[in-house]
Chains A and B, each alone.
Chain A
Amino acid sequence: MRLTRYLPLGVALLAAAFLIVPAILSILAGITANYFRGLSSGLTLRWIFEVWELYAGSIFLSLWIALCCLVVTLLIGVPAAYWLARNPGRMARWLEEFVSLPLSIPGLALALALIQLYGSHLGFRTSWLFILTGHVLYTLPFMVRSVQAVWAGMDLTTLEESAASLGAGPWQRFRDIALPGALPGILAGALTVVTLSIGEFNLTWMLHTPYLKTLPVGLADAYASMRLEIASAYTLIFFVIIVPLLMAMQWASDRARRLTR
């Protein structure tokens, strides 16, 4: 009886410790003067500043790509979700399945496919737009599904028909009826796109060039060639950017799901 009560809590606590302890270690290592000697060597912001000097470009490139990725996924994904919501049926399911392929095919395979088709177009291959293409490919299904789920949950057809009977044209109905209703889904999708784009590595590692390193590519670089304190300080900066985004993303996704239910 006691075992059945405390064993699950113990497992939950152990699992949480396994996830959080190394994250805390990386934060500590990033602000410790000499990690090998331990915390007694004193705390310092020196490593953070060094990371900033070395990798500020990577950090800004990632933020820029994430922003562009958001704009493109909004422009492509929201209208597409509208089409899917207005044309439910086999065709829409097939299309959604196809567009969602990047969710289930490893990024490495997608990157190889992109490189083989466009690798010889050097202007494109060596530009940041190539990385952006990969990010859009990978995040687009999240935007489409998030927005479409909201429209599928509300009675879009009836609303549209009443608006049409009052004389609203298709663009007006999209803008004034459908779009406002989808805002929770758009917000959740947008936060997911930005979070995933900033953290994307598997595709980006293959698509990047030595002159275009995103934040996670810089992280891999630091892990391989920098001292532990610098690698940790860089990870700390990454956490400061990504953790609030992750929390906002989970909040927005839960909210969108609650509203559609």
Chain B
Amino acid sequence: MPLSQPSQVQRSVMSNQQFLTLCLLPLAVFSLAFLALPLVQLTLGAASSEEGWGIYLKILATPRYLATLGQTVVISLLVTVAALLISTTAGLYLSRTRFPGRGMLISILTLPLAFPGVVIGFLIILLGGRQGLVNQLMPGHVVFAYSSLGLFLGYLYFSIPRVLLTVMAAAEKLDPALEEAARTLGAGPLRVLGDVILPGLAPSLIAAGAIAFATAMGAFGTAFTLATNIDVLPMVIYTEFTLAANIAMASALSIVLGLVTWFLLLLARSYSGGTVAAGG
């Protein structure tokens, strides 16, 4: 009996490897067919026009694309800063204060996380459109939904929950003993905030900021519903592809956009595990 054991173990090791390979097979096939090859095709498609690989230089040489890139970066930056300010303030408070209605408040602030961008665009229209709340309440004609303010508010809408979740998760991991020590040494609340809490949160804030920025850069649905008069990158990609049938330029701009958001989210992950991406 003991003599037969080694061969049995060997056989089970073999079939073990085979079983594991079999486990990976569906993913390998799917990712190759529907992720790797399409991305290769996208890269080739970008170089398929007369300009060839020079199409990336054309982006920089065309004022319209350059202006779009600039506007997209500026609005995404503004949204990121606003979302960080609002969500850090609210998140710190909510993670360390207990009061009736707190759970409800957290639910309201995090629930829109997976609302599609189109719906968020419509909600902004209900606030600031022609039949919107602000136009009904305010004297005069106040319509902001289709301006850059409307776009900003739409982006802010889906950024607040993302940043809030990251901040609250990080705030719960802070060591309360450090704060106590600072207070015992006579530091006021603002001193504690600036010298203890914010430095402790810094990696998560950088991560949250990168997530918010990347999501805003890639947001399509919100801009699509608002049909804003300012050009943002995803809208330009869409019109290049559908209206101008300029497939090479649409692909090149997509690659630029994809590289930017991918890099930012990689950065976010290196500062804190897990990303709350998607949507917009």
| Contact of B220 with A202 in the complex, beta carbons under 8 Å | yes
| B278, A196: Cβ atoms closer than 8 Å | yes
Answer whether residue A45 sits at the interface, using C-beta atoms and an 8 A cutoff.
no
B181 within 8 A of A: no
Contact (Cβ within 8 A) B27 A79: yes
B23 touches A82 (CB 8 A): yes
Query: Is B261's CB within 8 Å of the partner chain A?
Result: yes
What is the CB-to-nearest-CB distance from A189 to chain B, in angstroms, rounded to a whole number? 14
Closest to B254 in A: A109
Q: Which of B243-269 contact A (CB under 8 A)?
A: 247, 250-251, 254-255, 257-258, 261-262, 264-266
Is A201's CB under 8 angstroms from B12's CB? no
We find that the number of chain A residues with CB closer than 8 angstroms to chain B is 83
Q: Is the CB of A117 within 8 A of B41?
A: yes
A80 is contacted by which of B24, B124, B157, B217 (Cβ under 8 Å)? B24
Q: A196-228: contact bitstring with B at CB < 8 Å (1 yes, 0 no)?
A: 100111100110000000001001100110001
> Do B108 and A22 have beta carbons less than 8 Å apart?
no
Distance, CA A29 to CA B122, complexed state (A): 12
Q: Is the CB of B218 within 8 A of A164?
A: no
Q: Which of A15, A76, A87 contacts B26 (CB 8 A)?
A: A76
Measured in the bound complex, the distance between the Cα atoms of B92 and A104 in whole Å is 27
Chain A interface, >50% SS class: helix
B121 close to A223 (CB less than 8 A): yes
137-176 of chain A: CB within 8 A of chain B: 137-138, 140, 144, 164, 169-171, 174
B-contact bits for A84-106, CB 8 A (1 contact / 0 none): 00110000000000110111111
- Nearest Cβ on chain B to A69's Cβ, whole angstroms: 12
B237 lies within 8 A of A246 (CB): no
Q: How many residues belonging to B are interface residues under a CB distance threshold of 8 Å?
A: 88
- Shortest C-beta distance, B269 to chain A (Å), equals 9
Report the minimal beta-carbon distance from B261 to chain A, rounded to whole angstroms.
5
Measured between beta carbons, the chain B residues less than 8 angstroms from A40 are none
Contact with B along A15-44 (1 / 0, CB 8 A): 110111111011001000001100000000
What are the residues of chain A within 8 A of B178 when measuring CB–CB? none
B10-40 vs A, CB cutoff 8 Å, 1 = contact: the mask equals 0010011011101110110011001111110
Chain B positions within 8 Å of A71 at CB level: none
Cβ-based interface call for A195 (8 A): yes
Q: Which of B110, B116, B257 has its CB near the most chain A CB atoms (within 10 A)?
A: B116
Q: Does A183 sit at the interface, judged by CB under 8 A?
A: no
Is B203 on the interface with A (CB-CB < 8 A)?
no
Chain B residues, CB < 8 A from A205? 220-221, 224
Residues of B within 8 A of A1 (CB): 189
Which of A1, A106, A114 has most chain B Cβ within 10 Å?
A: A106
Contact B31 A79 (CB under 8 A): no
The one of B19, B107, B278 in contact with A170, judged by C-beta atoms closer than 8 angstroms, is B19
Contact with A along B55-73 (1 / 0, CB 8 A): 0000000000000000000
Q: When the two chains form their complex, are residues B220 and A219 in contact, meaning their CB atoms are under 8 A apart?
A: no
Question: In the complex, are the beta carbons of A76 and B30 less than 8 A apart?
Answer: yes
For A80, the chain B residues whose CB sits under 8 A away are 23-24, 26-27
B275 at the interface (CB under 8 A from A): yes
Quick one: CB contact mask for B93-137 with A, threshold 8 Å, 1 for yes? 110010000000101111111111111011111110001010000
Interface pairs A-B: 7 shortest CB-CB? A106-B218, A8-B93, A113-B38, A22-B123, A170-B19, A79-B23, A109-B254
Interface residues of B (CB under 8 A from A): 12, 15-16, 18-20, 22-24, 26-27, 30-31, 34-39, 41-42, 45, 86-87, 89-90, 92-94, 97, 105, 107-119, 121-127, 131, 133, 153, 156-157, 160-161, 189-190, 214, 217-218, 220-221, 224-225, 234, 237-238, 241, 247, 250-251, 254-255, 257-258, 261-262, 264-266, 275, 277-280
By a beta-carbon cutoff of 8 Å, the part of chain A in contact with chain B is: 1, 4, 7-9, 11-13, 15-16, 18-23, 25-26, 29, 35-36, 75-77, 79-80, 82-83, 86-87, 98-99, 101-110, 112-114, 116-118, 133, 136-138, 140, 144, 164, 169-171, 174, 195-196, 199-202, 205-206, 216, 219-220, 223-224, 228, 231-232, 235, 238, 242-243, 246-247, 249-250
